[in-house]
Amino acid sequence: MQEFEFEVLEFIRNNLRNGFLDAVMPMVTMCGNLGIFWVVIALVISAKAKYRKCSITMLVGLIFGVLIGNLLVKNVVQRDRPCWIIEMQDMLIANPQDFSFPSGHTLSSFCSAFILYHYDKRLGIPSFCMAILIAFSRLYLYVHFPTDIVGGAILGIIVAVLSINVTDKYVFKQKQITENQS
C-alpha cells in the first residue's frame, strides 16, 4: 500500500509542481496550521447571533479534533511522514515533527466545513472547497500520505457529528432549560 501512496505523491511532484503552486501551497497549508483559519472563521461568524451555535460547535469540534486526532490517534499509530522516509532536499515548508496519521490539517478542516455545512449550506460549500485545498496542500508539500488525508477527512466528519451531538445535548439544551426557567 505504501508503494502506491508514494506513486501518488511522486505523480503530484512530477506532474503538478510548478513555481506558482510552490508559492501558493505553503500559504494554503498555513491556513490549516493549528486550525487557525477555522478558529478565525468561528470567531468572525460569532458576531451574528444566528451563527453563535455554529461558532461554538466549531470551536468544540476543533478541540475534540486536537484531542482525538493529534494527541491520541497520531501517538498510537506513530506513522512516519513521507518526507521522513524519503528525505526531501527541496521542502517548501519546515519538516513537521509530529507523526503523519491522521492529517491534523485535514481533520480540522473537514470537521469545520461539515459543521458549517450543517448549520448553513451557503457557508459549508465554500468551506469544503477550502478543506479540500488544504488537504491537497499536504500531499503537494510531501508531508502526508493519501491515506493520512482520507483518514483525517473521515475522522474530521466523525468529530464534527460528535461535536454537533454533544453541543446540542449538553451546551444548548442546558441553555434552553435555563432560558425557559427565567
Is residue 38 over pLDDT 80? yes
pTM given for the model: 0.91
pLDDT tens digits for range 99-129: 999 999 999 999 999 999 999 999 999 999 9
Give the CATH number, domain containing residue 65. Answer: 1.10.606.20
Count of domains observed in the chain: 1
Is residue 176 over pLDDT 70? no
Residue 92: burial class (beta carbons within 10 Å; 0-12, 13-18, 19+)? middle
Structural domain including 47 reads 2-181
pLDDT (0 to 100) of residue 177? 52
- Cell representation of residue 69: 486526532
Q: Can you tell me the mean pLDDT for 47-74?
A: 96
Residue 171: burial class (beta carbons within 10 Å; 0-12, 13-18, 19+)? middle
